[in-house]
């Protein structure tokens, strides 16, 4: 469990620097928060008078955050070891507070009950507890029941995953414009940024607000007719998320189970690149809702990108997730001065691959400077320039997905 990320106002703090689930890196850094974390780790690992050993011999470092010059250190320990650490805690806090750039320090101890083998006839515990990086408070159910697959996204009819086998192919831009296009057509739409390490949703939607928490549930940020959530809303834009896999999976599970999405026709998920833990976790937990939606695979035309797109299709097929189709992004470039068309990355590769795989081809998205500029400016091009070539391409994509969702809904109700 990490130290609570909430302020007393019920909002996430404006900055929560240095969140990490392990001892900070030992490489030198000029970044103040990273340097502070390194020094904090050294202090915790040094021998303390009256203990005869270092703090980390009796506790593990779970998290460090630095806000407004105050360091918050979260340590996990056993109930037996609390009595060993508690007497010297004030001394260690004072030593940490003397680090240049810090004005104070607070050490929080989390004591875990020692585990004992369950009785032979005891029922097995349901899966889904795991890590909870965000301490939201107001939770009455245990972690397992709270994150059981059948309890996730209760008001969401279908999930559409926008995925790619690799990064840099324009997946996030496609996801944002697809979601905005669906909302524009009257589809009640949510958008989840599942890329914990590289969140881009706040910038692309033009939102930097911190979400509120009401009764232990995060209220999604609304923008352009969408309900949205991203780790980027919770941390500073320049902060690196130094988290191991279990923490990432815990954050994603909380975004599914502890965000008040309300009633939605579809939740569009901007997936992280690749075919790893995040993709498997989401596919397993949301299998039934993804079966009513499906996966959109984004690729550029060249062979090296298509190899990875092929792996993405294969993974979703193995997870029994419908493949809604393949999008060829950056399909061609038109010179804004002379309108000469240049196929920088080749052309038609994604369409040929879709045909070979036996999945629908969802269209071509051109490579245009205006698409890049709209993302940087925080307004999806499908809304900022609805008559543009790019907007027409995204509108056609949204119409195709909306039709597929309507057909799936009709099939389920018949």
CATH, residue 75: 3.30.300.130
pLDDT for position 19 = 45
Residues (pLDDT < 50) of the chain are 1-9, 14-31, 113-129, 139-145
pLDDT for position 287 = 86
Q: Same domain, yes or no, for 228 and 106?
A: no
pLDDT for position 77 = 80
b vs e for 172-206, b when ≥16 Cβ sit within 10 Å of the residue's Cβ?
bbbbbbbbbbbbbeebbbbbbbbbbeebbbbbbbe
pLDDT for position 3 = 35
Q: Same domain, yes or no, for 161 and 257?
A: yes
CATH number at residue 173: 3.40.50.300
Q: Same domain, yes or no, for 57 and 164?
A: no
Name the pTM for this structure: 0.67
Domain ranges, residue 249: 149-413
Q: Same domain, yes or no, for 153 and 108?
A: no
> Residues with Cβ < 8 Å from 277, sequence gap 6 or more?
245, 248, 249
Q: Same domain, yes or no, for 83 and 164?
A: no
Within-domain flag for 133: no
Q: Pick from 89, 112, 135: which residue ends a domain?
A: 112
Within-domain flag for 269: yes
- Under DSSP, is residue 247 helix (H, G, I), strand (E, B) or coil? helix
> Residues with Cβ < 8 Å from 217, sequence gap 6 or more?
136, 138, 258, 259, 260
Beta-bridge mates of residue 212 = 11
Q: By the 8 A CB rule, do 301 and 330 touch?
A: yes
Q: Pick from 112, 136, 165: which residue ends a domain?
A: 112
Into how many domains does the chain fold?
2
Q: Same domain, yes or no, for 174 and 314?
A: yes
Q: Same domain, yes or no, for 100 and 189?
A: no
Within-domain flag for 129: no
Residue 167 burial by CB count (10 A; 0-12/13-18/19+): exposed, middle or buried?
A: middle
pLDDT for position 110 = 66
Within-domain flag for 3: no
Q: Pick from 85, 112, 139: which residue ends a domain?
A: 112
How many angstroms separate the CA atoms of 126 and 122, rounded? 12
b vs e for 48-59, b when ≥16 Cβ sit within 10 Å of the residue's Cβ?
beebeebbbebb
Q: By the 8 A CB rule, do 363 and 393 touch?
A: yes
Within-domain flag for 322: yes
Element (H, E) at 23: none
pLDDT for position 394 = 94
Within-domain flag for 342: yes
Within-domain flag for 8: no
pLDDT for position 30 = 43
Beta-bridge mates of residue 64 = 73
pLDDT for position 17 = 37
Q: Same domain, yes or no, for 174 and 100?
A: no
pLDDT tens digits, 272-324: 877 677 778 788 889 889 999 999 999 888 766 567 777 878 888 888 899 99
How many angstroms separate the CA atoms of 378 and 371, rounded? 11
Within-domain flag for 143: no
């Amino acid at each position: 469990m990490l130290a609570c990320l909430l302020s007393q106002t019920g909002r996430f703090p404006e900055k929560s620097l240095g969140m990490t689930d392990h001892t900070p890196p030992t490489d030198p850094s000029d970044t103040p928060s990273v340097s502070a974390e390194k020094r904090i780790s050294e202090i915790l690992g040094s021998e303390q008078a009256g203990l005869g050993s270092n703090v980390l011999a009796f506790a593990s470092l779970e998290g460090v955050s630095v806000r407004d010059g105050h360091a918050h250190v979260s340590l996990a320990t056993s109930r037996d070891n609390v009595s060993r650490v508690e007497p010297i805690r004030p001394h260690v806090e004072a030593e940490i507070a003397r680090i240049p750039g810090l004005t104070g320090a607070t050490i929080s101890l989390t004591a875990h009950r020692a585990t004992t083998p369950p009785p032979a006839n005891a029922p097995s515990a349901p899966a889904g507890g795991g890590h909870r990086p965000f301490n939201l408070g107001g939770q009455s159910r245990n972690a397992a029941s709270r994150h059981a697959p059948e309890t996730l996204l209760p008001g969401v009819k279908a999930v559409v995953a926008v995925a790619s086998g690799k990064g840099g192919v324009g997946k996030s831009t496609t996801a944002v414009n697809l979601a905005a296009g669906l909302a524009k057509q009257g589809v009640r739409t949510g958008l989840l940024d599942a890329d914990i390490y590289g969140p881009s949703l706040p910038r692309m939607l033009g939102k930097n607000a911190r979400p509120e928490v009401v009764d232990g549930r995060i209220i999604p940020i609304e923008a352009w007719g969408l309900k949205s959530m991203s780790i980027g809303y919770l941390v500073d834009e320049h902060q690196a998320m130094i988290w191991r896999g279990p923490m990432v999976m815990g954050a994603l599970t909380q975004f599914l189970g502890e965000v008040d999405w309300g009633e939605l026709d579809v939740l569009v998920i901007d997936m992280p690149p690749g075919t790893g833990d995040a993709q498997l976790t989401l596919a397993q937990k949301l299998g039934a809702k993804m079966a009513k939606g499906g996966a959109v695979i984004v690729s550029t035309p060249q062979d090296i990108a298509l190899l990875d797109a092929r792996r993405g299709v294969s993974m979703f097929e193995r997870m029994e997730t419908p493949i809604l189709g393949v999008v060829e992004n950056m399909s061609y470039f038109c010179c804004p001065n002379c309108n000469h068309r240049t196929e920088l990355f080749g052309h038609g590769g994604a369409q040929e691959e879709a045909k070979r795989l036996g999945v629908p081809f969802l269209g071509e998205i051109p490579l245009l400077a205006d698409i890049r500029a709209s993302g940087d400016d925080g307004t999806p091009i499908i809304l900022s320039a609805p008559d543009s070539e790019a907007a027409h391409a995204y509108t056609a994509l949204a119409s195709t997905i909306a039709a597929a969702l309507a057909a799936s809904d009709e099939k389920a109700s018949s």
